[in-house]
């Protein structure tokens, strides 16, 4: 049941007290005996809030010192590109990081004029700089993605441009917590005034080179020639300057319907739970843009660091991310002539099987991987993976010539691709997905959360396929039981069970006392509900 405020303008009483949020960042000290106050790198870096003592200056000092030590240990001597989004804690965190980087002799580049930098622009910049550089360069993106305004985040991208794998983040996390526990004695730092005046900190225009190169991955000319009327809502995020530059360079008929940058994100409509969350895949958070769907041929939005996309069409309103991924993969496979026919398509194991049906019809192979975009990095980097996408509206793909563009999620190119699709085929992606349903069947997809103890979550994370004793699921024979992903044999950290017309996957939450059940049916909504109910029984029996 959605909250009473879901989809409605955020009431003033729920807006964050930004001065308090920033004051606590500097004044509160984490208690390292409390697990919730330690550094913890999830699938997208360390995230937390100064209100909960989980994202404070001490955390950033410790993480940055650990990162500087890691870079030295593995021989990364080039520039560290640092980007930030529009969350209130992002600028203080960037200031703290620069103090430590300069003291450790690390060359840093930040956006000029204290601007913001989207995640995909950092990934693109790392890769471009490493094409001809003497030393390898890497980067940091300071963002908690679409999380509420009170949150902060700190993510490391190594020289391959993508989100760091756990073999890297575990080293940084462990060392950062050691530094915290020892009272920051190992932290080298200078004052911010000294850091920002240092020759080691250089301001750079990250946006223009990225935008100028967009014609190498998107058929911008087709969009321009079509005369499409485009609407875009950056949701107060880090890429407003990107869209302004796109209009300037390519002269597209594109309205930026909201240019506000406000750390309270007061212009947002509330998400499903009544909170402010800049989730461009949520119909509640995207209410204001969906209301304009008939005004534009295609419209789209992004989360604050622009690694996610939200596609709004006249035919479908806000498209389900799974639906749009299916359309994008289908279109790219037919309209990228320079791509090798042998390229694989990457999807996470909790993404819709509609993707599998579409890809199979194209005579191509799906590479199914665990949750986390990091699993696509190597394939995108070496050009063996045409496309990598997640059910949570994150994806990237190769350039027109089949070479790497970004190895992190890029919501900007996925949005522009929706415009290219509409311009080229004279129909929007929502209509194309309707044709998929007629051809491949209708997919009923949902995710539910089930309360669980830490002990049960630990058991679920380490299940084997033999722990599942059931032979049927919702009236169909089980044809697959997986605890390792079929595409790369990596551990799922949970379980996936499939039948001919349905499947479910169960994974423990890393932050809450729940596990998540993703499920899909190609039969009916009632069949989906049966899958969900039996999935809970199967999981409970396996972890009992």
Q: Quote the pLDDT of residue 208.
A: 98
Tell me, yes or no, whether 429 lies in a domain.
no
Q: What is the CATH number of the domain that holds 186?
A: 3.40.120.10
Which residues contact residue 350 at a Cβ distance below 8 angstroms, ignoring those fewer than 6 apart? 371, 391, 447, 505, 507, 518
Question: How many structural domains comprise the chain?
Answer: 2
Whether 195 is covered by a domain: the verdict is yes
Residue 118 is assigned to a structural domain of this protein = yes
**Residue 52 lies inside a defined structural domain of this protein:** yes
pTM for this model (two decimals): 0.97
On whether residue 217 sits in a domain, the answer given is no
Which residue segment(s) compose the domain that 486 sits in?
444-543
In a domain, 252, yes or no: no
pLDDT tens, N- to C-terminus, the chain (544 residues): 899 999 999 999 999 999 999 999 999 999 999 999 999 998 779 999 999 999 999 999 999 999 999 999 999 999 999 999 999 999 999 999 999 999 999 999 999 999 999 999 999 999 999 998 789 999 999 999 999 999 999 999 999 999 999 999 999 999 999 999 999 999 999 999 999 999 999 999 999 999 999 999 999 999 999 999 999 999 999 999 999 999 999 999 999 999 999 999 999 999 999 999 999 999 999 999 999 999 999 999 999 999 999 999 999 999 999 999 999 999 999 999 999 999 999 999 999 999 999 999 999 999 999 999 999 999 999 999 999 999 999 999 999 999 999 999 999 999 999 999 999 999 999 999 999 999 999 999 999 999 999 999 999 999 999 999 999 999 999 999 999 999 999 999 999 999 999 999 999 987 678 999 999 999 999 999 999 999 999 999 999 8
Alpha carbon distance 308, 296 (integer Å): 20
CB 236 within 8 A of CB 258: yes
Query: 464 — alpha (psi -120 to 50), left (phi > 0) or beta?
Result: beta
Last residue of a domain, one of 209, 236, 265: 209
Distances (CA, A) of 108 to 80, 134, 377: 5, 16, 23
Question: What is the pLDDT, as a whole number, of residue 132?
Answer: 84
pLDDT value of residue 1: 81
Distance (Å, rounded) from C-alpha 441 to C-alpha 359? 14
* Final residue in a domain of this structure, among 170, 192, 209: 209
Which pLDDT belongs to residue 332?
Answer: 98
What is the CB neighbour count within 10 angstroms for residue 196?
15
What was the pLDDT predicted at 43? Answer: 73
Map residue 385 onto helix, strand or coil: strand
Query: Could you give the residue numbers annotated as active site?
Result: 145
Domain-ending residue, one of 209, 241, 264: 209
Phi-psi region of 255 (alpha: psi -120 to 50; beta: other; left: phi over 0): beta
Q: 538: alpha, beta or left, given left = phi > 0 and alpha = psi -120 to 50?
A: alpha
Domain assignment present for residue 266? The answer is no
User: Is residue 374 included in any domain, yes or no?
Assistant: no
> Where residue 468 sits, what CATH number does that domain have?
3.30.310.50
Beta bridge partners of 80: 108, 138
Helices and strands in the chain, H and E counts: 17, 23
């Amino acid at each position: 049941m959605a909250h009473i405020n879901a989809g409605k303008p955020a009431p003033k009483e729920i807006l964050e007290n930004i001065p308090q949020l920033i004051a606590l960042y500097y004044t509160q000290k984490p208690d390292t005996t409390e697990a919730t106050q330690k550094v913890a790198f999830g699938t997208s870096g360390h995230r937390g809030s100064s209100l909960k003592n989980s994202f404070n200056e001490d955390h950033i000092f410790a993480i940055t010192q650990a990162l500087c030590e890691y870079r030295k240990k593995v021989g990364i001597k080039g520039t560290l590109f640092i980007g930030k989004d529009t969350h209130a804690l992002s600028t203080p965190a960037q200031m703290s990081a620069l103090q430590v980087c300069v003291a450790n002799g690390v060359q840093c580049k930040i956006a000029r004029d204290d601007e913001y930098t989207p995640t995909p622009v950092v990934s693109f910049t790392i890769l471009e700089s490493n094409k001809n550089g003497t030393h390898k360069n890497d980067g940091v993106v300071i963002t908690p993605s679409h999380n509420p305004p009170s949150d902060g985040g700190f993510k490391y991208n190594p020289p391959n441009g993508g989100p760091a794998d756990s073999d890297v983040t575990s080293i940084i996390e462990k060392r950062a917590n050691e530094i915290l526990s020892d009272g920051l004695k190992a932290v080298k730092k200078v004052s911010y005034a000294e850091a920002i005046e240092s020759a080691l900190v250089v301001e750079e225009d990250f946006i223009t080179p990225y935008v100028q190169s967009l014609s190498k991955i998107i058929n911008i000319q087709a969009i321009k020639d079509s005369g499409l009327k485009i609407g875009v809502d950056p949701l107060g995020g880090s890429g407003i300057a990107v869209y302004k530059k796109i209009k300037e360079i390519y002269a597209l008929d594109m309205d930026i319907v909201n240019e506000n940058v406000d750390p309270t994100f007061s212009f947002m409509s509330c998400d499903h739970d009544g909170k402010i969350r800049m989730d461009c895949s949520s119909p509640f958070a995207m209410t204001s843009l969906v209301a304009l769907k008939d005004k534009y041929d295609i419209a789209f939005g992004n989360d604050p660091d622009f690694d996610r996309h939200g596609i709004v069409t006249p035919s479908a309103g806000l498209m389900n991310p799974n639906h749009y991924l299916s359309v994008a993969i289908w279109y790219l496979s037919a309209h990228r002539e320079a791509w090798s026919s042998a390229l694989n398509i990457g999807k996470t194991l909790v993404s819709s099987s509609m993707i599998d049906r579409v890809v199979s019809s194209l005579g191509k192979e799906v590479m199914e991987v665990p949750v986390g975009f990091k699993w696509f990095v190597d394939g995108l980097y070496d050009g063996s993976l045409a496309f990598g996408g997640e059910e949570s509206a994150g994806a990237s793909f190769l350039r027109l010539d089949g070479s790497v563009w970004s190895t992190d999620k890029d919501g900007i190119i996925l949005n522009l691709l929706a415009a290219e699709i509409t311009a080229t085929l004279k129909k929007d992606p929502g209509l194309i997905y309707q044709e998929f349903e007629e051809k491949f069947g209708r997919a009923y997809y949902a995710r539910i959360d089930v309360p669980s103890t830490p002990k049960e979550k630990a058991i679920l994370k380490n299940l084997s396929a033999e722990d599942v004793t059931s032979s049927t699921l919702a009236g169909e024979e089980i044809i697959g039981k997986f605890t390792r992903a079929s595409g790369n044999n990596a551990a799922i950290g949970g379980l996936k069970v499939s039948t001919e017309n349905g499947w479910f996957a169960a994974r423990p939450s890393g932050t809450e006392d729940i596990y998540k059940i993703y499920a899909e049916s190609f039969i009916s909504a009632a069949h989906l509900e049966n899958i969900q109910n039996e999935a809970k029984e199967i999981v409970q029996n396996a972890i009992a």
